[in-house]
Each structure stands twice: as C-alpha cells, then as structure tokens.
Structure 1
Amino acid sequence: MTRAENHGDTTQHGEDQGLLAGRTSHDDDGDDNIGNHYQGGESRRVLALNTKLNGGGGGGGGGGEEDQDLTARHNHHDGSGFLGAELEQKTPRTPGRVQFDLTPHVVGVGAGYPRGRASTSSLSSCDQLDMEMEEDADLYHAAAGPGRRGDAHRVPLLTDMEAPSVTVARAWGGGGGDDDGDGDGEGAGAGAGHAATAAAEMARPKSGLRSAFMNMANSIIGAGIIGQPYAMRQAGLVAGTALLVGLTVMVDWTIRLIVINSKLSGTSSFQGTVEHCFGRAGLVAISLAQWVFAFGGMVAFGVIVGDTIPHVLAAVWPELATVPGVGLLTDRRVAIAVFVVGLSYPLTLYRDIAKLARASTFALAGMVIIVVTVLAQGALVPRGERGSLGGPLLVVNGGVFQAIGVISFAFVCHHNSLLIYGSLRKPTIDNFSRVTHLSTGVSMLACLAMALGGFLVFGDRTLGNVLNNFPPDNAMVNVARLAFGLNMLTTLPLEAFVCREVMLTYFWPGEPFRPARHVALSTALVAGAMALSLATCDLGVVFELVGSTSAVAMAYILPPLCYVKLTTRSWRTYVAWGVVCFGVGVMVISVIQAVDKMFNGSESAAQCT
C-alpha cells in the first residue's frame, strides 16, 4: 500500500509498518498521530518539546535554543506555553481525512453460527457466488474463508428456524418473569425477556440423525406404499421400475432443494420461500397445496384405520361383536373415533416433531411387517388365485400417469422437510442430505420390494390395496393389516403438524405461541379429519384429484421454480425447468383423467361396512 505525497511520489511502507506508522528520521515532512502536518524537521522539535514538557526532569542540553524558539512561537499564537494549544490550532492536511487499515480482520458471521463462531470474509469470495445448488459450498466458503472449503456443508444454516418443540404441558406452566425488569428500564426488561426466550429455544429437545431419519422415512413410507403393486400394474414392470427409481432421485433432489431455497431466500419456511419468490400469490398457492395434501392424508389415514382394525379384531376374536361395550370396536365408525381420539389426538398436541421419533420407529417397524408379509405370503398363494403376466404388463402399460400419481403420493414429504430440518440437533446441509438420501433410499427399496412382491404374484388382478388380494382368514396378513392401521394412527399427527404450521404461518405470522390456540387448532384438525373419515370409506377420485394437484405442485413444480427464481441461469436451471414442465404435464393429464372418471363413473363407489 502506498501514500501519495504532495509532489506526486509514493512512499513504500515496510512489512512491519502500517498506514498509521510513524515517519522515518530522513522524511522531509511529518505527521502527528492525529493527522496534523509539520514541515521539515519541525516534527522532531515538537516531539522533543513534548518530551521536555511532559516528561518533567529529562536531561537538558542539546537543542535548548530551538526549544525556546519554538516555545516563543507557541506563546505568540495564544499566549500559552503548552504544546496542546499549538496542536489544536493546526489544521489537518486534508479536512475530514479518513485513514484505512487494510489488514484483514476476523469478522463474526452472526448469531446464526453456534458458540460465537467467527470466520474471515473476502470480496473475492463474494464475487464467486453463483447461487447454484451443487456449488452451495461456495456460499459457505465466502463465510468460512480460505482453507475451510471442506467444512462448508458442515456449518449450520438457517439456525433461526426451529421446529415447534415445547410440549403443551411445559408451555402452560412456563412463566415470563424475566420480562419485567427491575430498574434497568423497559429496554433492559425486553432484553432479559429475549435472553430468556433464547435460552428456552436452546433448551428445546432436538433429534439426532437417526430420529430425523425415522420421522422422514415414516412420512414417506405411509399409506402410499400399499398401492405400489397397483402402480406397477398400471405402468408395466419395466416402466414401473424405472419410474420408481427416477422419481426417487427427483424427490430426493427437490426435498433438499427446499432447504437450499430457504437459505438463498433468507426465509425459514417453505411458505416463506415461495412468498419471497412470487409474492402473495405464491403464499396462497403453497399454503393451499400444503394444507390440502396434509389434511387429505389425515382423512385417508382415518379411513384406513376403519378399514383395517375392525376386520382384524373380528378375525382374531370372532365373538367380539357379542361382548357388551367392547364389541362396538367391530364397527368401523366406533373404531375410527376410539383409536383416533385415543392415540392420534394426544400425539398432535406436541409442539415438538422430535417427540414423534419413537412413534415413527414403531410405524417403520409396522411397514417392515407389511413388506415381509406380502413377500412371504405372496409366495404361498395358490396358482389359481394368481394373476396373469404378459404383453404390456411386462414392459409399458397404458396407465403410466396414474402410476406417477400413486408413486408421487407415496413419496411426497416436502411439507414435512423443513420441520424435520428444524428438529435436527445440528442443522447442516451435510446432515440433512444424509437424512434425505437414507430416507428416500430406504423408502425406494421398500416400495420396490412391495411393488414387485405384489405385482409378480397377482399380475392383472392386483388391487389398489394389495392386502385385499389375500384371503381374510390369513393370520399373518391380518397382523400386517393391524400394523398398517396402527401405522396410520402414528402418521396422522405428522400431517396435523403440517396443517397447524401452515395455518399459523398464514393467519398469525410472527405471533408468539398461545397454548389455547394451539389446542384449539389441533382439536379442530383432528375432529374435521375424523368426521370426513366417518362419513365415507371411499374417497377414490377425490383423493386422486387432490394428490395430482397438491402433491405434484409441492414435489415437482414449486421447489424447482423457486430455485430458478433465486439463481442465475446455468445448465442446472434448465434441469429445474424440465422438472417443472414434467410436473405441470402430470398435473394437467391427471386432472383430466380424474374429471373424466368422475363424470363417466367408470368405477363404482365402495360400500362402507
């Protein structure tokens, strides 16, 4: 770094000298440490006089006449013998002079990084940002500095985003005594309140990678897995297998894209990201899609409970219907009311999605039982009860778009992704990617095993619920039916979490937690879903229509569309556009087919028993 002199020359600073370093003894000009300028050797005489006046008792001699002359000149100015008066009257060489120190400083990256973690930033790093997903490490490299690129995805991001994680009982008993303050004024009281709130947030229970995997896998491997053999029948063996693998990769990408988009937009929710990109219209679209899909799932789970548990109880205990009181459980409506209110409703009252990890573990165990049952019992099915395979069923069948809808309904968990991300004990891109890869990979293997195990046995006879292809007196299949029904009871609260969060974000953004409102919303959601489950046992075309709109919008349209909006043009944005076009095409064709089915009545409605 150089400094221009009056005559246009430059003076080089030594390695050990900064911009504010003193001049050397051979300089013609001199600056004091406040920017005043002295000509020639006057600066040395001022320094000597300053030493004499302030040091008191320094050795005399040498230069006394110069000192007296300089003192006389000071007295001539203001009658004072003090050096300070002379310095105050000196005018800086450049008015408003600003001196820059170009020495790099370690700058903290903000409260979002734990333990006050600081990092070095540079302009060159910022210039390298291209907002692209696979180069997401560059975004962190700008904050992490040189030599830290390998740790880029290990740095927590969006750490202000929390999954609701205080139980109702704890919230009802929580106090706010810290908000009062005691003499430091209103600001101190507010600061204490914020500190108490921050401490409470830090104390919230979090889930590790295993628990997050359980929650996400349970959200994926739900009711949709039972329809995978039917999807294979609709698409054909080769096409169905390719669809399962391809859609798994696509869903894995768009799930992670939701978190990436949230970081790029500086928002902490799926709704916030879409609103940031597309304004109020985007918020309405994503809120409606999330709420409809989640609430439709709640209704479907209630219907499944009514279609499985009563039949299992009747098969296990044939005389149950004659037992007073308890015999009412053989009625589907009573079973729905008892099990939903008794098991699902208490779980929906939690604010912490991490607390559902044990329930999710049980649900995944139930899914394993179902898959094993289909594989084991399918091999024992008599030849006369098997279906035929051949022709289009082995390659590509005519129901490819119906198959896409069934598979997408099974794999869509995008409405839960940020809740699961927020529940991580250490929310980083690496950790969330591990959870996502593992969850979607295991889910794909489970769905593929279920699809092949059912379709290769029943062929063209495969039903939408493959368990219904087995006889009602099969003991192992009845155990699978029971596990499936109980799985729906533990999955229903996950969907209620989403419905509640969507409503809170849309109608009460930024408002503090209110236990009464929390309980009221949870109760209304469970009651509404249960009422629809009691009213019908075959949502058929309605679920198909809802799934082909809300599920496709959340999985294949909105995440890549936001990514295109938030990033610069590159080959990745063209891939995102391709996914958007795929989603729009599937949505349009599926809606046309569903409407045609509704008006033509191609399928008879099921009768509730």
Structure 2
Amino acid sequence: MELQDPKINGALPAGAVGYRQEREGFLPSHNPAPGRKPAQFMDFEGKTSFGMSVFNLSNAIMGSGILGLAYAMAHTGVLFFLVLLLCIALLSSYSIHLLLTCAGVVGIRAYEQLGQRALGPVGKVVVAAVICLHNVGAMSSYLFIIKSELPLVIGAFLYMDPERSWFLNGNLLIIIVSVLIILPLALMRHLGYLGYTSGLSLTCMLFFLISVIYKKFQLDCPVGRNDTAAESKSPLGLNRSCEAQMFTVDSQMFYSVPIMAFAFVCHPEVLPIYTELCRPSKRRMQAVANVSIGAMFCMYGLTATFGYLTFYSSVKAEMLQMYSQKDLLILCVRLAVLLAVTLTVPVVLFPIRRALQQLLFPSKAFSWPRHVAIALILLVLVNVLVIYVPTIRDIFGVIGSTSAPSLIFILPSVFYLRIVPSEVESLSSWPKIQALCFGVLGILFMAISLGFMFINWATGQSRVSGH
C-alpha cells in the first residue's frame, strides 16, 4: 500500500517532517531552487524500459535452484509443491513491497545502506554478511553443477567412462576451470560482460525447460508398480512406481521449502534495478517485480512438474543427472548450462568482494594485490566447500534455510519496522503488525528447516534417498 503523508490540523507531526523531506528527496524535485541541482534519488536518470527491467529482475531470480525443484516436488507431492511455490512467490512479492516502501522513505537504493539506516553500522555488517553467505552458496551450487556435469560432457565427447578416468574426476575439473576460466574473469576490475552473461543464463534455462518438457513425452517409464527387477536394470533409474503423488511427507520434505526459497531470492538486485528504471515509481517497480515473479513461478512450476512426471520419486537433487549421457539433446543442454554457470560465477563473486572491501577496507583506495587476494581466497574457499559437500541438495538446503529467509523475510520486515516513522504508522497499525508477523514467519522457517536438516544429518536419514 502507498504511504500517505499524515496531516494533523494541517500540520505534520515532528517525526513525520523528516519522513516527508526524505521521501521528497527520493525522486527529482519539480521545483528546485534557482541555480541548485534538484535533489534526486538516482545518480542518473533511469533509462531502462519496463520490459527490460522485467528481463533483468527475472534473470536475477533465475538460478541453479531450478535444477532442484523436481526433487522438491518428489518429496512434497504435486499439489502441495505448487501451493508452497505459490506461497513463496507471493511472500517474495510482499517482501519487495516492504523494500520499496523503505526506499521511498529514506531515498536509499542499496540493500546494505538500508541495513545501516535501520540498524546503524551493525545493520550494514549483518546485511553484507548475509549477502556474502548467499552468494557463496550460489557460487558453490554453480561449481557443483560443473563438478557433476563437466565429466559427463567430456566423457561423451571422448567416448570414455568418467568414473574410470582420473583426469575426468569432478574435483580436479572444478579446480582447472576455476584457475583457467573463472579466476581471470574474476580479476577484471569492471564487469563489462554482465549483460551478455545474464541473457545467456536465462536463454540456457529456457532451453533446459523446453528440453525437460520434450523428454517427458519421449521417455516412457518402463517400471511396473511391482516390477522392482526392471527398476534395478533401468539405465535412467526411473521411479519404482511411476505414479504421481499429489501430497506426500517424508524425511526429505524439509529440504523442499528451502530449495524453493533459494530459487526466489533476488532482493539485493531490486533497488539497483529500481534505480535504472525509466519513470521510476513504487507502483511501477512493484509491477516489474510482480511480472518477474509470476513468470518465474510459471517456469519453475513447469520445470518441476514435467521433471517429476518423468522420473517421479527417483529424481535427484540435480535433475540433469537423471538423463542418459548419450542423449544428444541433453548433451546440448548440459553444455548450455555449463557455459552459463561458468560465466556466472565471476558475476556472483563481484558483490562479495565489494562487500568485503567496504566492510574491511572502507577508506582504502583500490589495490590490485587486495583485489586479487580476495578473489583467490573466495575461490579456494568455495572449491574446498564443493569438494567436501556430498550433494547439491545440501547446498540448496543450507543456503535456502539461512540467507534466503533472511533476505526475503527477516531483513525487509526489520527495515520496515525501523525505517517507517511511528508518526506515519504506529507499531499497532495493521501494516506494521503484518511486517512483524512476516519477520517472525521467517525466523520460524529458518529454525524449523535447519532443525530438521540437522536431525537428518545426525541420524543418517539424508542418505536414505540415495542422492
């Protein structure tokens, strides 16, 4: 809802005067003083069209999480999954509403700056740490895809079994790719190829969706309901029953919601996209967010549904592993996804390095040794993490249970409660009660998801699924 400037007998309350002044500085002033540049929220006039802004935000939402959605559906059921996915989408849209409202109050365009405005220097540190954690998780998921898919692609071209060739070991290959491709790109001072990478990534995922739908109608499930022998011989490892479940609950279900949350995180990119939007307004940017989230909801729902209906409960957390290594179409999909994720890793590394430099060296001038050292340390850390984490599901689960609820639920609600003046909306007002409940929901989501994952790890149930 749009905030209205409250008036009491024609005058604003003292606390709301600052609110109005800050809000008026959010967009260019129409009546600047003579000889004075108008105060404005943006460093430059936004020139990005509505459609291109939708494209940019959709690409910010889209990521490796799409590969794990069929797995999430297998452990929740078709209807339950789609209901949960819709809830996450709606909550993400409401979260962006809170961010835009806060930005409109204080004229701030960066997530970290909102944290500082709401909670002081500690808030800036917390927000930067959460963003770093999320981006490290995203980098890890991308490198895990390289680790699992690159050996299959090279093995297909060389007609070799990846498991019998030492030089096709996934751990060795991610180190080689990191040194020869990712590191040189990450050492660039400016990320000029970002636009090309973004377009390529979204195109690859659309190609992936089309291929998943096509393969659903091409592959028949050869396993009868009681034919366990056929199941063990199936080269694709198809489902033991080939029967879709509308609702199901098992020990892996608590990985499902974090995977969905991970797939919808785009919040640090919302305000920069808002800055560049042509004719920016809260309502116009909210429309951009709603269209983007709606498009991704449809894409996620289709990918998960057709992936699940192809492999049913046997689907793995990284769905591409379910397809034949000799399938030419899937080989092209693997190449496209590998190219996209390889070029995206340096893009994800840049915000981490910028946040670390602002936190640790805020007053230092640019230094090449420090620039290189941060990139090296981050790549080594992520490579070690990917080598020792057994499945991509654990990466999706942990990041989706920590940074995702923080970015979607907790931080936007805290910003709203702290930034919007009490003279404008009191703590007992319905919007602030909603924001408070939203933050509490995020805390509960984080605690429950992490709790059940730790229980699964402690009891060994995380290996029951065989992934």
1:305-344 map, 5 Å: 305-318=146-159, 330-344=168-182
1:119-130 map, 5 Å: 127=12
Match of 1:506 in 2: 359
User: Is 2:214 aligned against 1:376?
Assistant: yes
User: Is 2:296 aligned against 1:411?
Assistant: no
Match of 1:576 in 2: 435
Cα deviations by residue, 1:397-417 (Å, 9 ceiling, x for unpaired): 456543221100111122333
Q: What is the distance in 2 between the residues matched to 1:317 and 1:530?
A: 26
Contact 1:305 1:486 in 2 (8 A): no
Match of 1:78 in 2: none
Q: 5+ residue gaps in structure 1?
A: 1-121, 148-154, 161-201, 322-326
Q: What is the distance in 2 between the residues matched to 1:550 and 1:474?
A: 36
User: Is 2:108 aligned against 1:223?
Assistant: no
Match of 2:115 in 1: 274
Q: What is the distance in 2 between the residues matched to 1:585 and 1:225?
A: 24
Cα deviations by residue, 1:285-337 (Å, 9 ceiling, x for unpaired): 3232211111122122112111112201211331698xxxxx98633234323
Cα deviations by residue, 1:116-162 (Å, 9 ceiling, x for unpaired): xxxxxx9999839998xxx99x9459988999xxxxxxx995325xx
Q: What is the distance in 2 between the residues matched to 1:426 and 1:341?
A: 43
Q: What is the distance in 2 between the residues matched to 1:227 and 1:126?
A: 55
Q: What is the distance in 2 between the residues matched to 1:352 and 1:579?
A: 37
1:593 partner letter: F
Match of 1:601 in 2: 460
Contact 2:109 2:275 in 1 (8 A): no
In the TM superposition, what is the alpha-carbon distance from 1:448 to its structure 2 partner?
A: 0.8
Residues 389 and 604 (structure 1 numbering): CA distance in 2 closer, same or farther, change over 3 Å?
Answer: closer
Q: What is the distance in 1 between the residues matched to 2:41 and 2:56?
A: 20
Say which of 382, 400, 415 aligns to 1:562.
415
Match of 1:481 in 2: 334
In the TM superposition, what is the alpha-carbon distance from 1:582 to its structure 2 partner?
A: 1.6
Please give the TM-score of this superposition, normalised by the length of structure 2.
0.78
1:88-99 map, 5 Å: none
Match of 1:517 in 2: 370
1:444-455 map, 5 Å: 444-455=297-308
Residues 382 and 406 (structure 1 numbering): CA distance in 2 closer, same or farther, change over 3 Å?
Answer: same
Of structures 1 and 2, the one scoring higher in RCO (CA 8 A, sep 6+) is 2
Q: What is the distance in 1 between the residues matched to 2:276 and 2:167?
A: 36
Cα deviations by residue, 1:65-106 (Å, 9 ceiling, x for unpaired): xxxxxxxxxxxxxxxxxxxxxxxxxxxxxxxxxxxxxxxxxx
In the TM superposition, what is the alpha-carbon distance from 1:426 to its structure 2 partner?
A: 7.1
Q: What is the distance in 2 between the residues matched to 1:501 and 1:411?
A: 23
Contact 2:98 2:416 in 1 (8 A): yes
Match of 2:447 in 1: 588
Match of 2:399 in 1: 546
Please give the TM-score of this superposition, normalised by the length of structure 1.
0.61
In the TM superposition, what is the alpha-carbon distance from 1:595 to its structure 2 partner?
A: 1.1
SS in 2 for 1:412: coil
2:41 partner letter: L
SS in 1 for 2:324: coil
Return the index of the structure with the highest Cα Rg.
1
User: Is 2:295 aligned against 1:442?
Assistant: yes
Q: 5+ residue gaps in structure 2?
A: 1-6, 32-37, 224-237
SS in 1 for 2:218: coil
User: Is 2:183 aligned against 1:345?
Assistant: yes
SS in 2 for 1:394: coil
1:127 partner letter: L
In the TM superposition, what is the alpha-carbon distance from 1:396 to its structure 2 partner?
A: 5.5
1:533 partner letter: V
Q: What is the distance in 2 between the residues matched to 1:286 and 1:538?
A: 27
Contact 2:262 2:404 in 1 (8 A): yes
1:362 partner letter: L
Match of 2:247 in 1: 395
Residues 344 and 126 (structure 1 numbering): CA distance in 2 closer, same or farther, change over 3 Å?
Answer: farther
Q: What is the distance in 2 between the residues matched to 1:437 and 1:130?
A: 32
Cα deviations by residue, 1:500-556 (Å, 9 ceiling, x for unpaired): 122123223355544543343233323432343345553654652333012111111
How many pairs are equivalent?
428
Identical residues among aligned pairs (%): 22
In the TM superposition, what is the alpha-carbon distance from 1:346 to its structure 2 partner?
A: 3.9
User: Is 2:144 aligned against 1:303?
Assistant: yes
Contact 1:223 1:301 in 2 (8 A): yes
Contact 1:157 1:263 in 2 (8 A): no
SS in 2 for 1:590: helix
Match of 1:365 in 2: 203
Q: What is the distance in 1 between the residues matched to 2:77 and 2:62?
A: 22
Q: What is the distance in 2 between the residues matched to 1:554 and 1:312?
A: 35
Match of 2:233 in 1: none
